[in-house]
Structure 1
């Protein structure tokens, strides 16, 4: 039996780990650390830094190369194939390093339940008959880190929040009926398709890290600043991990 612990690690700052996360990491027989290519080399460096900061037990750590998603075909089909390739890679690492079973830990950015596919990949292993028991340790999400950095509430008073992706925002526009929208996984400034009138944006990149970047203001004024800063950061680091919240003023019926 493999006891798989999916541990939310926040946005890369060791201070974001809960006591439960630290205990789960120290109780593991093996921690797998994925490498995502040279352009994102500091992602593996952050995972190494987190392990060095919180591990007090002699836990084995193994690094492996994460498969790359094919960006040329239909999106959903490419993601499904990518997840299958990742599951195959996990399976190979488990067979090699935990052949008799044991406790395996994977460090997941943010929280494993929010816009992350680690749980879906783990389900593939279970469907394939691997004796695996999944445990989730919740973590601080990028949304929490964003609202904390800007010192703002997530929701308007007694109001709902819609969480979506950059891909969906660009394809479908502002979600119907929403006043507050959080956008994750935006590969390219999808806020540019939003009507800026009456809209305010709070944006953050590398939240909780030493090079954290923040911008906010009326969308018409802030959007060009964010796009320019995002391009500068990508050129400097080779990757950008960002999230933003937009809020529209309520349009009241004329009396």
Structure 2
């Protein structure tokens, strides 16, 4: 996994929705030069979309010049997915070999400036941390929230992050080291649940049953009739009044 490439995709990719999820899945497998070799089925499982949607997303990323597919050039003849790091950074891509639509049929070498060690070290540090005293995540930026809202449009990112913090408070022995990945996975699952219609729902208060409503009216009438000195006793009559009246007469 290259945090360097993942950060570039998060910040600069023009893709949206499931296409962005596939781009992030590729970045999760990529080295610092942006090269990865996952199968389509692996990407589909990682992005939590169908293989057909994954194929469509790959084509979109190629059209956006954010991805190059080198077919059959990876280990054991698998495809090589090359994230176009220079294009994402807005740099001059003169050193990148142009390929025909659908990807090159032979192995090509992408000329990419290797990231500096300092940048790698800074990127490796996850700026997000969890403050157990306040119950809040620290280090989440507005750019993070905007990107999550773009990637997971079916959920309220702020609300889900609050639920994630509640989970961490309730599970102190299961604290996470990589909080950015934890939040991303949380939002991805919540978005998928919404998409599949399996999101938890808050139960609405139910109206009282006819029998409960009848008993409530009977108790109110009895209290009004007898006050606090004598309570009606239940007899054979449903209203529980006939037997008590007979007792008073005697």
The answer, yes or no, to whether TM exceeds 0.5 is: no
Query: Hey, which of these two has a bigger chunk of helix by percent?
Result: 2
Higher relative contact order (CA 8 A, sep 6+): 1
Q: Which has the higher strand share?
A: 1
- TM-score, normalised to structure 1, is 0.26
Q: Of the two, which has the highest radius of gyration?
A: 2
